[in-house]
Every structure is written in C-alpha cells, then in structure tokens.
Amino acid sequence: MAENGTDCDQRRIRMIKEQHNGSFTDSSLLSEQKRRDREGRSNIVLWRQPLVTLQYFFLETLINLKEWTIKLWHRRSILVSFLLMLAVLTATYYIEGTHQQYVRYVEKKFFWCAYWVGLGILSSVGLGTGLHTFLLYLGPHIASVTLAAYECNSVNFPEPPYPDEIICPEGETTEGSISLWAIISKVRLEACMWGAGTAIGELPPYFMARAARLSGAEPDDEEYQEFEEMLENAETAQDFTAWVKLAVQKLVHKVGFFGILACASIPNPLFDLAGITCGHFLVPFWTFFGATLIGKAVIKMHIQ
C-alpha cells in the first residue's frame, strides 16, 4: 500500500511538471509568434509592398463600411432625426430674415470655438509628441488680451474673433479698474475650448488599449508595449521614472473617476499612460472622458 501511494505521488508530481513545462513552452511559442506577427505587420507598408498594402486597405475599408451600415440601420430612428434636424438648420441658415443676425453670431462663435478645440487636439493627440499650441497660440493670446486690458483700462474691446489689433473702447475709464477675474472671464472661452481639445486628443491611447484588450491582439505601439512591460515588472521597479509611472497606473486603476480627474487636473506628461491604463482595464468611456474633460478643460485651464 505504501509503495502504491508513493507511485501515485510520483506520477502526480510528474504530471504537474509536464503541465508546467507545457505552459512554459506554449508561452514561449506565443511570444515568438507575436514577435513574428509584429515584424510581418511592420513590413506591410506602401513603399515596400504597395499591392499588398492597397489590398488590405480596400478590404479594411469594405469591412468598416459594412459595419457602419449595419450600425446605422439598427439606429435608423436616430439617423432620421439627425437628418431632419440638419435639414431644418440648413433651411434656417439660407432663408433670409431677421433671424440672420443670430445665425451669423452663432456661426462666428462656432468657428472660433472649433479653432481652439482643433489647436488643443493638435497639442495632445501625438502621444506626447504633439504641437505645443499652448506656447505658440493660447499663451500669446492670453498675454495680448492682458496687455490690452491694462492699456485700455477695460475689457470691453471687440468680442472674438479679434481683429489684427485690439481696439480700445471709446470714453473714459476708471484707472485701476481691471482685475484678474475680469481678464480670466475675457479669455475663459478660448482656454476652456483649448482644454476640451486636449481632452479629445487623449482618446486615441484609450481606444487603442481597449481594442487590444478586447481583441487579444498586441498593437504595434511603443507606449502600449512599454505599459505591458511595466505591468510585468511591477514588483521589481527601482528607478524613479518607473516608480512614478507605476504610481500613476495604480492611482487611475484603483481610484477610478477621481484618480483620472486628479491626473488630468495638473500638468502631467504621463497622462498618456492614464489613457492606456483605462483602456487596458476596460474603464467605461464616459468615466474616462468625463473626468479628463473636467480636469483639463475646467480645473487645469483655470490653474494655468
């Protein structure tokens, strides 16, 4: 009986070892296959394999068109309502009448806001390599409005979009009547629209990581690969940069909405990592985008 028990234990140990060896072999084969797939995808570019690249492009376009058509068909009531609203707005825009002054005012405001939103998107959409539109556009705009306010002793000069030169209002003004809050009110719209644009620019890392997690595929992105390596080596992180990145990841993952809000409310060059973290752990879209929008467009912009 003792011998039979010993044989059973030995067989059990042998089976466990074989299972572990098999899992190690499978993981090594899987990583090797991922590496080969990544190299194969990197070679599919227009200047190396133009025919194959164009073939995949047209196939992907057809697949996307089919998916969009199916989605629109399932939401046809929303589509019909949107088309009716668009037709009403188009008729309102082109029909002459006393309402045209309001139409022109809304049109001017819309394009002015879209201009600053676009600059905000350009600032953050490049995964840390975007155009620094705050230093190039928003900062000089705030400075010019501030100088004009102190020179004119008023903020009642023309509304945006401003002309080439800000014209002071006619009439006498009280010396020293300009306050910080008056200047903030004058540039709040532009600053908040720019901040909203930076929030929109943070969406690509989120969608990339979310799609990778749902599909199981590994995207060809250095930021995401660095994020996965950081998760694998979380316990052995020693340098300060890795520790800070890990702290941001833990804050966003564990605290949720308020963690994202805290990271978005301060100048944070590592916020791309927050977007990747939220996408990887399948944080709901409106939780991520809502916290990012409030943090960047409201809190952070008033601080700046």
Distance CA 9, CA 21 (A): 18
pLDDT the model gives residue 202: 85
Look at residue 159 in the predicted model and tell me its pLDDT.
72
Write down the domain spans for the chain: 50-95, 108-303
Q: DSSP string covering the chain, please? A: -HHHHHHHHHHHHHHHHHHHHHHHHHHHHHHHHHHHHHHHHHH--TTT-HHHHHHHHHHHHHHHHHHHHHHHHHTHHHHHHHHHHHHHHHHHHHS-STTHHHHHHHHHHHHHHHHHHHHHHHHHTTTT----HIIIIIHHHHHHHHHHHHHHT-S-SPPSSP-SSPPPPSS---TT---HHHHHHHHHHHHHHHHHHHHHHTHHHHHHHHHHHHH----S-HHHHHHHHHHHTGGG--SHHHHHHHHHHHHHHHHTHHHHHHHHTS--TTHHHHHHHHHHTT--HHHHHHHHHHIIIIIIHHH-
Instruction: Give the pLDDT of residue 280.
Output: 77
pLDDT tens by residue, the chain, 304 residues: 444 445 555 555 455 444 444 544 566 776 677 777 777 777 777 787 788 888 888 998 999 899 999 999 999 999 999 999 999 999 998 988 888 889 998 898 899 999 999 998 888 876 455 568 888 888 888 888 888 888 888 888 777 777 677 777 776 565 656 788 888 888 899 999 999 998 998 888 888 888 877 776 655 555 555 555 655 555 555 555 565 566 666 777 677 788 888 878 877 666 777 777 788 778 888 988 998 899 988 888 888 7
Q: Is the pTM of this model over 0.85?
A: no
In this prediction, residue 1 carries a pLDDT of: 46
